[in-house]
């Protein structure tokens, strides 16, 4: 079994930390609406960096380590795109000016890294001491997969309650004052809607961390690979938001692809738990030899195939459904496409009702 050199791990964290800090500084020093070309270049850069990192892992850690990182990164990237869809809704609901969305998204990404870092440490400690935790992780992912595909979004309802609670107890304006968190009205300091947006994004990050960490632990139990896969999945998410824009909302089958990935990894975790079983009330505490041990290569293939099928099916649906925009007519970068002839046009002047 190959191990990753300590110097490589330390160097990786230093370089990744420098990149994240630089990205944060850029977002705050130069608030603007990124062009499609700029967004595409940044997203491509981060994808290339992830692939270079994977290649280095193949060299210094071996094929198993490199494959586990690739599978973990792709899993987390697909879940991050799902997270991106919620970010689009939050920005639209609170009518956040596009000029300041970069900064807010960067805060969301930092919060996501912090939450996931905590859950990675907790998950690693649980796995180290309690092998039966894989049963719980697996069952949770299967349940999450079912709710992702067929359930209602209860997170939005809970979020609305939190926002209503805040508005009743904290003085919050209805309009933004640039990118300020607080402003002065009639001599009194009050919060701007940015506070609510931060809380909405933070709560969303927390919920997605609960899903993503058990999922990647189903691929690798190496905390270094888990954390770096999460970092690379979140890097460039801000630029991807501006690149894809409303397209994310139109990929109607994306949630089913993500649900299938979560369900597959959940079943894989249960099989792994059975294979390494130590619970006395299951098979007398003995390992269950017939339980298959699903390899990283198969996992990688399932992840890629699921996302490809979901994306292609969504594009075909968009082309055939008169109520959806034709993918050829889509404008990237957040511009809302015009519906095809015969489709009902959305009321662009209506703004979502706030709690």
Q: Provide the residue ranges of all domains of the chain, joining segments of one domain with +.
A: 6-329
Hey, how many other C-beta atoms are within 10 angstroms of the C-beta on 120?
A: 20
What is the structure's pLDDT at 346?
37
Residue 184 phi/psi, 5° resolution?
-115, 125
Residue 191 phi/psi, 5° resolution?
-85, 150
Q: What is the pLDDT of residues 93-131, one digit of tens each?
A: 777 887 778 788 888 888 888 888 888 888 888 887 887
Q: What is the full per-residue pLDDT of the chain (355 aa) written as tens digits?
A: 458 899 999 999 999 999 988 888 877 777 777 787 888 898 899 999 999 999 999 999 999 999 999 999 998 888 887 777 778 777 877 778 877 787 888 888 888 888 888 888 888 888 878 878 888 888 988 888 888 888 765 555 555 666 677 667 777 777 777 777 788 887 788 888 888 888 888 877 887 787 778 888 888 889 999 999 999 988 888 888 887 765 666 777 888 888 898 899 889 888 888 877 778 888 787 878 888 878 878 888 888 898 889 889 988 888 887 666 665 555 555 444 444 444 444 333 333 333 4
What is the structure's pLDDT at 351?
38
What is the structure's pLDDT at 152?
63
Rounded alpha-carbon distances, angstroms, from residue 316 to 43, 223, 313: 25, 39, 5
* Cβ atoms 187, 151 nearer than 8 A: no
What is the structure's pLDDT at 45?
92
Hey, how many other C-beta atoms are within 10 angstroms of the C-beta on 140?
A: 17
Total-model pTM = 0.74
């Amino acid at each position: 079994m190959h191990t990753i050199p300590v110097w490589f791990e330390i160097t990786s964290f230093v370089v990744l930390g420098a990149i994240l800090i630089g990205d944060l500084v850029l977002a705050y020093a130069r608030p603007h609406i990124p062009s499609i070309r700029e967004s595409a270049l940044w997203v491509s850069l981060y994808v290339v960096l992830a692939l270079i990192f994977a290649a280095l892992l193949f060299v210094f850690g071996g094929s198993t380590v490199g494959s586990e990182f690739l599978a973990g990164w792709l899993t987390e990237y697909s879940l991050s795109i799902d997270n991106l869809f919620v970010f689009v809704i939050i920005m639209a609901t609170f009518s956040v000016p596009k000029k300041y969305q970069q900064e807010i998204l960067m805060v969301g990404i930092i919060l996501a890294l912090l939450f996931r870092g905590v859950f990675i440490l907790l998950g690693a400690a649980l796995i180290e001491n309690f092998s039966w935790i894989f049963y719980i992780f697996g069952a949770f992912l299967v349940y999450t997969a079912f709710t992702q595909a067929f359930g209602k979004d209860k997170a939005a309802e809970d979020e609305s309650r939190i926002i209503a609670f805040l508005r009743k107890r904290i003085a919050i304006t209805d309009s933004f004052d640039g990118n300020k968190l607080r402003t002065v009205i009639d001599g009194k300091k009050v919060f701007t809607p940015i506070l609510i947006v931060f809380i909405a994004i933070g709560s969303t990050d927390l919920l997605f961390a609960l899903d993503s960490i058990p999922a990647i632990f189903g691929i690798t139990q190496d905390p270094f690979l888990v954390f770096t896969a999460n970092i690379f999945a979140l890097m460039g998410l801000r630029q991807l938001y501006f690149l894809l824009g409303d397209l994310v909302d139109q990929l109607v089958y994306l949630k089913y692809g993500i649900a299938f990935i979560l369900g597959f990894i959940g079943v894989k975790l249960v099989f792994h738990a059975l294979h390494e079983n130590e619970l006395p009330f299951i098979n007398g505490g003995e390992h269950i030899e017939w339980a298959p041990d699903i390899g990283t290569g198969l996992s990688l293939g399932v992840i890629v195939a699921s996302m490809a099928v979901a994306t292609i099916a969504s594009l075909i649906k968009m082309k055939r459904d008169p109520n959806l925009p034709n993918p050829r007519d889509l404008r990237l970068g957040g511009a809302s496409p015009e519906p095809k002839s015969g489709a009902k046009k959305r009321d662009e002047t209506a703004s979502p009702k706030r709690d």
